[in-house]
Structure 1
């Protein structure tokens, strides 16, 4: 069987006015992007709003949230939203699930997160295929005869699990079509994630290559490479403390995370970003000129990812970043 072509995706934050998503989506599809993702970050617009707008403005690209979680949204509601997106896009939806982050800020606990994720996927599958039987899980359940009372485009949609850790990756190996490592542009993570996924895929008799590995991170591209990298440093500073401990292949300078975190807490994001060395920046963001960003993405493609996802803010402005990614980065990639 021939190797699958690597997809290139665009990840969008849900912080824009109505109409902006349609414009960016049309530009991205015309440029040749394969997938459009909307992040499900706490206190931003619900992903379904921009996704439905983009579905109406496109005809080819796959669309999905990365990621929804079962603690702030019930599984039956997740099923309904993804069914609506699949209808609106005529069968181009995918579903991203993750345990969620920072939910303590809204008073939500996250008990048994792996069980909750696995059972959420089961409930969504149950409802999309119109199974009238009962579902009894340890966290979630459906009474017999509980059905979605409207048309579904498909009886199933592709499932992505967002995870870095060994247990989450093993879960993806058992049940998912893709696993996304968010906040990473590091090719050295690809074999690490593949080995973690294989624990789960082996347990259920799947080929590990059935689970596509997706890496995505902050992206800032501009013909002024230094300006792009300076902006990327500021962006990375705000999440370095979250992702640095998750990557076992990276050794950071002593005290870097603490000092960056101290400056970010004081509102001095730009100063925090200036502390991040070039090699660390390149592990956690795509940044620089189109040639530099393409070279970073190519390393991931060569490492065997199924998809590279260029995340917000894309450039010094969203529109310019999407334009450069489509016109000058994509043509340089061999996939």
Structure 2
């Protein structure tokens, strides 16, 4: 039996087949939602198109987009990561502390290694221990959160102005460099998921575990790698967040758990695994981030963003269920 392939075709985005793939991945809705919300946002707050506002908005949404991509990888293999905010906090403070004494490349590698180690810890327990992902990551969230407060008990670290400019400044006028970093990561992740055997296995584990096993593929190893990859993506977001805030914070990842789940839900990914879109997830994260930004400029408490994120999750999960029930009832009435 041949290797399991992701339930999408593998051609360019700018043709009919690319549109079909986006539809199958559930990405059409988040793309449309982002376009509509962006137009409304600019109409309400035209200053978004100024250089300062663009840079501020980019630095706000890029860490969320990267964490959401990390959550997407776990969802693709049929799980969910409750510890993702704690992983971000731990990677953030480890990197910030290392910046005080280590060269920047070494500090970055240590920050990435922290996220990788956290992901592999979860992956080992889920893939080889056989424990439910939600239970494992709920427990590890407390562990990683406690470790982050041991590393740094208050905001601090050695983030420099040069690092801020390299991660959160402007590459060119009206082009925030954080968006460039996000684009690089997104393209590499897309190539991994769509052009490699590992990507096909990740989709396959989530969509059809029995086919993966029948094909002789190592589903456990695939899950382990998926958790490790997710940890690396989250740590990249943590490092960019440290650059934009010029500090490390042991609670920096707390707001990202619910938002990452909401972004994946809004992206059209299937929480049963096997379906999800990188572009949909990024645009969904951008939409949620801009909602928070709009609430801030409107003078509304930013905590309402959590309420909106929760409502999005309920709506995205609940509306299809209600629709199926209504359609079934209508069909039954006609018959």
Q: Which has the higher helix share?
A: 2
Task: Give the TM-score, by structure 2 length.
Answer: 0.25
More strand per residue: 1
Normalising by structure 1, report the TM-score. Answer: 0.25
Determine which structure has greater relative contact order: mean sequence separation of CA pairs < 8 Å that are 6+ residues apart, divided by chain length.
2
